[in-house]
Structure 1
Amino acid sequence: MKHFLLTWLATAVALLITSRVVYGFEVKSFVAALIAAVVIGLVNGFIRPILRFFAFPITLLTFGLFSFVINALTLWLASGLTPGSGFEIKGFIPALLGSIVLAIVSSVLNYFLRVVE
């Protein structure tokens, strides 16, 4: 349970940092980031595996680079599922750039969380 809460908080912080770096990727408050982290987790748990299954051939052809597009689509979908919550992505390009920045920031934060534990 402790690991789940730390990961949830780290994802929320990563979303806030990403919103400061990427134009068009907006998170209004920490509460909005917490809500967005839950929705992103649910989308990644239920919809992303389906997208990855159907996109497997093109992912192979692009040597895995198409996974960035899948990540961007799932982020964009999560943004669309939370209207009025303070989490908004204004277009595909901000979603793509945001997914790259979010992956980097989340990796760094999760690394430090593992070191602390």
Structure 2
Amino acid sequence: MNRPVFLNLMQIRMPVGAVTSIAHRVSGVLLALGVPFSAYIFDLSLQGPRSFERAQELLAGSMLKAAAIVFVWALAHHLLAGVRHLLSDIGVGSRLPFARRSAWVVNGTGVFIALLAAWALL
């Protein structure tokens, strides 16, 4: 009799390429959710001086600053991982050692850009 297996997700070690691929999908969802709000803030800021001040007030909140930092990470990671995927589709960097290295570079650079955004916003 086959018994169900307890699947402990904390014990699964995924390769860095898998983490990068999953983060690419997550960043795409975050971008899809964040673009309408970004467009609203941009439109509000262009309506006149008072509307611009209102947009600045909205963006001054700590929750929106944190959301902006996450949005910057999502944008950076999605762009870098997308370029990595496109290059691998045409055979550039498809060998395993280079693919692992490029995945680490994508992950690290995305976090670095988010930290730069946090430093600039805070």
TM over 0.5: no
Point out the structure with the larger strand share.
Answer: 1
The two structures have a TM-score, normalised by structure 1, of 0.35
Which is greater in Rg? 2
